[in-house]
Structure 1
Amino acid sequence: MSELDSGAEIDLPDADLDVAAAPGRELPRGVKPLLVLGKIREVLAAFSPERPELTIPEIRRATGLPPSTCQRIVANLVAEGFLDRSGDRYRIGLSLAYWAAPASTGLDVVQLLGPIVRQLRDDTGETSCVFRREGNLRVCVAMAETHHAVRREMHVGKLMPLHAGSASRVLLAWDDEAADIVLGGELARYTDFTITDAELLRIALAQTRKQGFAITSEERDAGAASVSAPVFDAQDRLVAAIGISGPTQRLTPQRCHDWTPRVQRAAREATRQLGGRST
């Protein structure tokens, strides 16, 4: 039996420590990783809202763990209440829900996402914002303003329509109830590029959900463009849209596409901060 399979700790060179940890959660220098914790995380991460119950072979395929290691870890997780078992199927233990409850108590989402918003601004040079739905509108709840002299006016608390702009597109694409309400009402025109036909907007929402982001130009304000992506919570529910916006002279169509991966990365980081699982 190997040291790894027996659960024994193996010393890693200092250079390997950062590789073994997720970004922002590196171990302090000189602290050795407990390798078994990584395996436990892999087993727990195999479960999702879409796949709440798994068999041992399914867990093994999802994690890539050796059969004996997977069997032993799962058995111990059941014994400790991290997993529950029914026949040959396993699911996340109900005890974890109790232990996880304090994580969301008093959680200030805006404060939590602040560093991500500022980093997105610094990386792209453009104003970055977080929008949440408020009835038939969206509201800016966090932002970091560009350092460019030419900028799009934006402030925390600003209310905007829920059918125009990339953040609106995101907030509707993953919220069927909101989409039905908005598409069933009047779609006001703000510029020549505002989508005012419900069927065309429905098609645009489907495309947004398929690709995982939205890019719009001059839908709400002439001369302004934006890129946005969705942020989810631990229950895979849409929480907000995060993105960048600015004048079209800088955010050209090509530039918007260039910045899209960075916006999506910020959305994944925000989702992880809220306990969600990014894809």
Structure 2
Amino acid sequence: MNTVGSRAVEAPDIPTLERPLYLLTFFTPREPQWTLAHLTRASGLPKASCLRALRVLEKYDLLQREGDRYRLGSGFIAMKAHVQVHAPPLNVALAHLEHLRERTGLSVAWAVLDAQDTLYTEVLAGPGGTPAGVGERRRVVLDASGRLLLAFGTLSLREAMFAASGDRGPLELLDQVTRRAWLSPPLPSDEPGGVTQVAAPVFRAGGTLVAALSVSWPGRPVWTEAEDDLRALSDAARRVSQEMGYVRPWAGDAAFFLQVLDRLPR
């Protein structure tokens, strides 16, 4: 059984025409290469069916074979270029993301809300690891970017996620801090381990949330030494928002954020 989006999928129930797409879901930043044997075992598909699907993906350059291993092919490069042409917010933001990485020396990421998931659409790696890979998704409560998207999300989403939380108290406290400081704090339990992320909101004209812009430190930073990086993050989010027509006062407050960090759940 595999998970596609938020659904558990039984391989025998997958129509033949969908099987190539099903196999693509196994190629992630953490497992970018697969052999036929391993993919057959993981997917639950018969070996012959798996091989036929892989050959279809090879034909259209969506997979490339190197020896006995498969990885994503050049077709996805063209797709990414197409998406960027039709993704004005990210196009506006890219120069600011690069400047933020240069200014802080940290990994920088851009994440958007996709249903109840955080979807990372751009990641600029710095030393010490990244919060996610491009195209990776996770539940909104599992990292700072997701909780930022939740904090400024729709009322229906917020009610659904709070109701699904076993212990609302810690999540509501993080939510209050995020909405007050316009910076989303990390938790030790965030994924992936070893990387500490803080996110800031990006808005378009009218105040609609567009994305979460984040920086990530390798390990746990010394917060008293991180204020400049937090201000740089907030400033970058403000500049991107202004270029997209946001004209309201900017409420990012790094000083308040640092004051309350010690009181947050651990």
Residue of 217, 224, 233 corresponding to 1:263 = 233
SS at match of 2:134: coil
Distance in 1 (alpha carbons) for counterparts of 2:195 and 2:219 = 5
User: What residue in structure 2 maps to residue 162 of structure 1?
Assistant: 140
Computing the radius of gyration from Cα coordinates, the structure with the larger value is: 1
Contact 2:147 2:175 in 1 (8 A): yes
Higher relative contact order (CA 8 A, sep 6+): 2
Gaps of 5+ in 2: 1-84, 251-266
Secondary structure at 1:214's aligned position in 2? coil
Which residue in the other structure is 1:114 paired with? 94
Report if aligned partners of 2:129, 2:195 keep a CA contact under 8 Å in 1.
no
Q: Which runs of 5+ in 1 are unaligned?
A: 1-104, 188-195
Q: Which residue of 1 aligns with 2:222?
A: 252
Q: Does 1:236 align with 2:214?
A: no
* Alignment RMSD (CA, Å): 2.1
Paired residue type of 1:272 = Q
Listed as ranges, the matches of 1:264-279 within 5 Å are 264-278=234-248, 279=250
Identity, in percent, stands at 20
Q: 1:214 aligns with which of 184, 203, 213?
A: 184
CA contact (8 A) 1:172 1:179 kept: yes
Residue identity matched to 1:241: A
Q: Provide the C-alpha distance between the structure 2 equivalents of 1:171 and 1:271, rounded to a whole number of angstroms.
A: 15
Q: Which residue is equivalent to 1:180?
A: 159
Q: Which amino acid aligns with 1:201?
A: L
Residue aligned with 1:128, SS: strand
2:247 is paired with a residue whose SS is coil
Q: How many residue pairs were aligned?
A: 163
Q: Aligned partners of 1:255 and 1:127: how far apart in 2?
A: 17
Residue type at the aligned position of 1:214: S
2:111 corresponds to which residue? 131
- Aligned-residue offset at 1:271: 0.3
Which letter does structure 2 place at the counterpart of 1:137?
A: D
For residue 145 of structure 1, what is the aligned residue in structure 2? 125
Distance 1:215 1:153, change over 3 A: closer
Cα distance, 1:107 vs structure 2: 5.7
Number of the residue aligned with 1:34:
none
Give TM-score, length-normalised by structure 2: 0.56
1:268 offset after TM fit, Å?
0.2
Question: Residues 226 and 254 (structure 1 numbering): CA distance in 2 closer, same or farther, change over 3 Å?
Answer: farther
Query: Which residues of 2 match residues 15-94 of structure 1 at below 5 A?
Result: none
SS in 2 for 1:216: coil
Does the aligned pair in 1 maintain the 2:195–2:216 contact within 8 Å?
yes
Is 1:201 paired with 2:174?
Answer: no
Asked if 1 retains the 8 angstrom alpha-carbon contact of 2:89 and 2:210, the reply is no
Distance 2:120 2:86 in 1: 21
